[in-house]
Structure 1
Amino acid sequence: MSKKSKIKVVETNDFIVSWLRDYATNAKVNGFVIGISGGVDSAVTSTLCAQTGLTTLCVEMPIHQHSSQVSRGREHIEQLKKRFPNVKNAETDLTTVFESFKKVIPSHEDTVKIDLSLANTRARLRMTTLYYYAGIYGLLVAGTGNKVEDFGVGFYTKYGDGGVDLSPIADLMKSDVYALGDYLNIPNSIQNAAPTDGLFGDSRTDEEQLGASYDELEWAMLEAENYKKKEDFLGRERDVFEIFSKLNKANKHKMNPIPICIIPEFCKKK
């Protein structure tokens, strides 16, 4: 189920950079702010933004972060600053904010739910921080989600890393992101690292959380788009297709527009 990217990297890179520049110009902003995680998605997104020539602010927001994620993020930022004079960086350590938050919320006997809620809280604290920087410097928050995460399995936090102004790589499969990363000379330490959301303060990978690799999920997403069903597969393929289908259904609330209660005419005064 290994997937190879089908995009033309040069054309795709140039198209996204032009799209970003045009969007920012029309919005009359100074550039972009991106949360840097030490992963390939944020590295590619920030490099795309940097190529616009507009202000590109890379922000590190550690919360009890694993040291490997911190070092990869810093390596990328330093490389990017050397390549592009419009790149700036900032670090806001949110660990004390996170710990203060934990002290004022009620406890619960379900530790699994607590862990997940606190993981999502980390993402929402980071979103709030990015919008603070965006507000004071006149920037747009650039999302770092890819197509598999954003529209396949919904592997992101609503109003956390899903809270952005624009999504430059959300129509790219994970294999496409890696292809762009290679073209853009993203550090090998990032390209070779196992993807992780970094929300639990440890080194658990996305694959461990999702139950399937991105190659497998990308395959399943394409098969689902071709109207295939689990009965069409056997063995590991069937397992992966079921994982994808279950996550896609459970996370539709993230992908679909927020439900609005439309008031009917009979409720209105004549």
Structure 2
Amino acid sequence: ACVGFPVIQVETQWAREPREYLDKGLALVAEHAGQPLLDFALAPHSMYTLDEDMLAEVSRVSEESGLRIHLHLLETGFEIEHALAHHDTQPLEFADRLGLLSDRLIAVHMAHLEDADIGLLAERGVHVVHCPQSNLKLASGTCRVSDLVSAGVNVCVGTDGAASNNDLDLLDELRTAALMAKGVSGDPCSVDAVTALDLVTVNAALALGIEDRVGSIEAGREADLCAVDLASVRTQPVHDVISQLVYAAAASQVSDVWVRGRRLLAEGELQTLDEARLLERVDDWSARVAHGRPRASRVAS
């Protein structure tokens, strides 16, 4: 996992102000250094949740440490209005001025792009994460995926948070991304099935900086594998495996998952988590969030 630690101007139980967030996050990075399954990123959320000095500090820390930056960027029209009002410039120009645009930046959404923006992203090596269902649900804009891919920008697919996505189903998200790319570009051949699959495999690995370890099935790579059972009526007949995976498969058809060769899901059954206990905790936290109202237990006593 790549865990983004927040650096924001909002007080929470973890920290009160941006500097405290940053210091605690860097301490967390140091504490878990060397763990093969854990990476970290700076996560300032967006350009409007920090002042200019702190954004510049995030950029500096990223450059010195090599940590990636996870940043919601050009998600809404409000960001453009805010940047023009407070910085007298466009958001991407402001980000570039602060040194944020580099191959360490994972820019999420990018739903309000102009032609010049795409060229700048390609020049700086920025990675873009497209979250189509969140953008649709919030009516926040559309990402020009086809144009980005054509310009050589590394594009991935994400879900955004549960509040604006609900099911966090990456296969469903991938299908939506492939279909939206065609609708936005007006080209039915845009982002074909093979290109779409790259968005959640090799491209995602490149964005996280682990492309030499995962993202493709090759000798010497770590065995991070996901098996999808296409025998279901939903995905029959199979004329093209990749096309069926992108346009027809459902998350419920994921049968097995391995991480570094360790089997975590076997024939649909979790191997390292107690699902019943997990659902109990869901009920517990749901009740807490709902001001302590009692919830019926899912598991018989």
TM-score by length of 2: 0.27
TM-score by length of 1: 0.29
| Higher share of residues assigned strand | 2
| Higher share of residues assigned helix | 1
Query: Of the two structures, which has the highest relative contact order with CA contacts closer than 8 Å and spacing of 6 or more?
Result: 1
